[in-house]
Structure 1
């Protein structure tokens, strides 16, 4: 059994009569049921004055329920089709569907001659969508124009449904990114087709047509390179083509915009430089260029210390402390193959921060087999889901393996988060640094560490989550696990009416 924190100074953890954990509802008041391993669990008594059932022990004495040996799934039965659909059709897909559908309706209306603005400014429609797409992936814009103001405006005081909605919206902005990018390309294709159709009436020179076609081809390559399947199975292809084809498409778009906006009705070009500056297309193209350039102005080559406690993990140590909730991108070169990771730090006043790189491919495997002394990183860190911690009064972070990297900073720096970390042979795999940080900074009643190899079985994660969710009075669960573990926990949380957010692999 994992060593769970001892009893704290809190006199008891309260469960309301209607919110008892499922495992306790059939237990007689005052009895002492046993855990999966036969150890006594905290007993329950009834407070007649308050009309509440109360745990005799707080979470410091909580005994982790375990599944029988050989069982891997904590769900007693497969989730219903409705639950599966709710997990699959998350806000990311909702935002994508909304952005793409609205734009397709606009293109159809424009093609029917009922949308004069789009007919005249098709390029502006395309570039406006691409501007929104780039902004939703820009570290500076997301952190300082979305996350920071919304967190400070709505943290804790606003009704929980509003905070849940904002969290889902901000976490799934990738849906806007993908939806607007796809729509922008569709508008660009529509504009080029219209340009060809009207080339005789408008005396359109071949140069404008040629650059329009080149722009469409390169932007389509950029889009397909970012398809989820390609990102998952051919990451290097995605890195090279999405980035460099994206940069090249910006160049082609600039040329197309400047040529099209400098075109006179008679088919000749004006030499008056102020004319393109007065157009919407020019300012959209400029905004896209600035948004893409800002993060790249902050790249630096920094010294690192890499330790490899096991062949499966590299612990990368950097200088300077970092606030909770931020993620960083690192690379061996200045321009190629940047990878995003959660940052672990005890706070901005500390002089170090860490990144855990679990071995998943050639690049991370190289950190273990051939650890570098320096890495390239972007000084501008981007905000992740834990950055929204201040939205909520109490949160449970449940993670498996190297998923600890995304949430440990927040659990260390804030006292309203409860950490559940599950892994196999954890101390041998991850070394002493993380465990030392946990033991020094997190009170024993605020974490559970469960080693599946040491225990010989997996924990009953859903029962544990239900128990801790009620006992800790949590408002939300944050999951950082692998795809299968995330799907299982998300489905279980939805079935038990617990608000939960998990990682995304399709954005």
Structure 2
């Protein structure tokens, strides 16, 4: 089957005077023929790359001079991209911002608790026991904590991502939203605090109307101290504070959780000591006891696996470094958390396999680009060892394996998480749009070669030549021409929101990591 000629869309500058031209198919063939055509194109691209590499030592692109490539490419794109079919739908802003999936999950968790509270009040009335409220708070704390536990997260992603491609598209697009799980985490967390406020108030009221004891005073003080910690966690978790003071958020979140768990155990023991039936029977029949036990195990598990592991840094440029690891193996869609100090700031990075590189004897790597103090330090210091905790965890990209064809959109170092796709032999067919400054100079030819394993003709926009380009028209045009099922966006928060909303508001399924993914 002959490949159709493809019009130029975007260009990329290399160290040499030539530039890479990326293209897109003009016509869409039946699905089976597309697979054959895509594999044929991949093979052809690989042969051309190998030929170029053997003759010049690097992948040397063929194409027009850089003087007028981008101006003409923009004109060509506008000429072919009649996007009149992609009109914004009514109430898009309400659906995709005000009541997006994350907020819907948050609301469901909170409303479910409100219904449970009404039922409890109707059934018990004034005879409601403080223990009923503390049990309800513990249940929500359990849901909140487990929603972030690596084993639970992996299980959920495997479950939702296992949906076969033969399933109804509507169901697949819905299951793809699993990365909004943070809505359950935060909704249950806030609900647990509300239940605990009820417990603290009711227990204090009953204490005030009973003969004072030293143990009673100690319990009341402990109850309100735990409440203060719960409130502090919620305050620092607010998106505005979290983005501006992320280090403070992380430290407060982690250590307050540990202290609350320890104090909660102390509280249960103190309450049980006041029970006339004895400590053992009291705890064994109290749901909060078993929940605290489960939460303790879930909290300790990642830290039991804390290790200091060797790192092989590969400097790419003053703006990026690739960190290679060998302490474990990773699967498609998984990432790891690393830190320079085990009790300070932890950073999560998507990973991709090193099996396509023959220069280093390592298992996988992460791409780190300058985006803050930690990443800047990693680029400058070239760490030889880093701390890791827990196990590799599935993330945003894993669920895209349930689609047949996708558009991958990224900017800058966002290409690192995208490279995770090369680890999956059953990945969907894809077109890649990557906008970045001086890609070869910043990330190296080997990174581009890995990108071409996802898409033999990636659309790479060099902003040092063109400046920043509005990618939405390009993405919509590619979505139509490639007959894609969905759009995957991995960029900075502002760009991700812009492209995802621009697509969704026009009826194009699009997904991108959110602040609480």
TM over 0.5: yes
1:340, CA displacement in angstroms?
A: 0.9
Alignment check: 8 A CA contact 2:435 2:461 kept? yes
| Structure 2 counterpart of 1:124, from 128, 135, 149 | 135
1:444 corresponds to: 456
Tell me: CA distance 1:35–1:351, structure 2 relative to 1, closer, same or farther (3 Å): closer
| Structure 2 counterpart of 1:234, from 245, 249, 255 | 245
| Structure 2 counterpart of 1:180, from 185, 188, 209 | 188
Q: Give, in whole Å, the separation in 2 of the partners of 1:191 and 1:45.
A: 64
Q: Pairwise mapping of residues 40-189 of structure 1 onto structure 2 (< 5 A)?
A: 66-67=73-74, 82-88=91-97, 89-107=99-117, 110=120, 120-144=131-155, 146-152=156-162, 154-168=163-177, 170-189=178-197
1:250 corresponds to: 261
Alignment check: 8 A CA contact 2:405 2:485 kept? yes
Q: Secondary structure at the match of 2:352?
A: coil
Runs of 5+ unmatched residues, structure 2:
12-20, 46-68
Q: Answer with 390-399 or 77-86: which moved more.
A: 77-86
Q: Secondary structure at the match of 1:96?
A: helix
1:390 corresponds to: 401
Alignment check: 8 A CA contact 2:130 2:203 kept? no
Tell me: CA distance 1:66–1:384, structure 2 relative to 1, closer, same or farther (3 Å): farther
Is residue 211 from structure 1 mapped to residue 222 from structure 2 by the alignment?
yes
Tell me: CA distance 1:218–1:45, structure 2 relative to 1, closer, same or farther (3 Å): closer
Tell me: CA distance 1:42–1:475, structure 2 relative to 1, closer, same or farther (3 Å): closer
Q: Give, in whole Å, the separation in 2 of the partners of 1:256 and 1:348.
A: 54
Q: Give, in whole Å, the separation in 2 of the partners of 1:45 and 1:181.
A: 50
Alignment check: 8 A CA contact 1:66 1:457 kept? no
Q: Provide Cα deviations, 1:344-395, integer angstroms capped at 9, x if missing partner.
A: 2256998421112222221111112222210011250111111113322222
1:35, CA displacement in angstroms?
A: 6.8
Q: Give, in whole Å, the separation in 1 of the partners of 2:447 and 2:23.
A: 29
Q: Give, in whole Å, the separation in 1 of the partners of 2:329 and 2:25.
A: 43
1:432 corresponds to: 445
Q: Give, in whole Å, the separation in 2 of the partners of 1:500 and 1:80.
A: 15
Alignment check: 8 A CA contact 1:400 1:481 kept? yes
Q: Give, in whole Å, the separation in 2 of the partners of 1:355 and 1:41.
A: 28
2:16 corresponds to: none
2:49 corresponds to: none
Q: RMSD in angstroms over aligned alpha carbons?
A: 3.7
Q: Pairwise mapping of residues 364-383 of structure 1 onto structure 2 (< 5 A)?
A: 364-383=375-394
Q: Provide Cα deviations, 1:442-478, integer angstroms capped at 9, x if missing partner.
A: 4525x32222223x24455233323322333321111
Q: Secondary structure at the match of 1:420?
A: strand
Alignment check: 8 A CA contact 1:347 1:413 kept? no
Tell me: CA distance 1:500–1:443, structure 2 relative to 1, closer, same or farther (3 Å): closer
Q: Give, in whole Å, the separation in 2 of the partners of 1:353 and 1:40.
A: 28
Alignment check: 8 A CA contact 1:486 1:502 kept? yes
1:109, CA displacement in angstroms?
A: 5.9
Alignment check: 8 A CA contact 2:10 2:461 kept? no
Tell me: CA distance 1:286–1:35, structure 2 relative to 1, closer, same or farther (3 Å): closer
2:488 corresponds to: 478
Q: Answer with 497-506 or 78-87: which moved more.
A: 78-87
Q: Secondary structure at the match of 1:155?
A: coil
TM-score (norm 1): 0.80
Q: Answer with 196-205 or 250-259: which moved more.
A: 196-205
2:428 corresponds to: 416
Q: Give, in whole Å, the separation in 1 of the partners of 2:218 and 2:89.
A: 57
Q: Secondary structure at the match of 2:353?
A: coil
Q: Give, in whole Å, the separation in 2 of the partners of 1:401 and 1:457.
A: 13
Alignment check: 8 A CA contact 1:389 1:410 kept? no
Runs of 5+ unmatched residues, structure 1:
1-8, 14-31
Q: Give, in whole Å, the separation in 2 of the partners of 1:129 and 1:177.
A: 9
2:505 corresponds to: 495
Tell me: CA distance 1:448–1:33, structure 2 relative to 1, closer, same or farther (3 Å): closer
Is residue 197 from structure 1 mapped to residue 205 from structure 2 by the alignment?
yes
Q: Give, in whole Å, the separation in 2 of the partners of 1:243 and 1:496.
A: 40
Q: Give, in whole Å, the separation in 2 of the partners of 1:343 and 1:236.
A: 23
1:403, CA displacement in angstroms?
A: 0.8
Tell me: CA distance 1:273–1:351, structure 2 relative to 1, closer, same or farther (3 Å): same
Tell me: CA distance 1:186–1:246, structure 2 relative to 1, closer, same or farther (3 Å): same
1:277 corresponds to: 284
Q: Provide Cα deviations, 1:58-113, integer angstroms capped at 9, x if missing partner.
A: 9979x998547xx9xx9999978833333323211111122123324544665677
Alignment check: 8 A CA contact 1:479 1:486 kept? yes
**In proportion to residue count, which structure has more helix?**
2
Q: Give, in whole Å, the separation in 1 of the partners of 2:384 and 2:22.
A: 51
Tell me: CA distance 1:442–1:324, structure 2 relative to 1, closer, same or farther (3 Å): same
Q: Secondary structure at the match of 2:504?
A: helix
Tell me: CA distance 1:368–1:187, structure 2 relative to 1, closer, same or farther (3 Å): same
Tell me: CA distance 1:45–1:198, structure 2 relative to 1, closer, same or farther (3 Å): closer
TM-score (norm 2): 0.78
1:303, CA displacement in angstroms?
A: 0.9
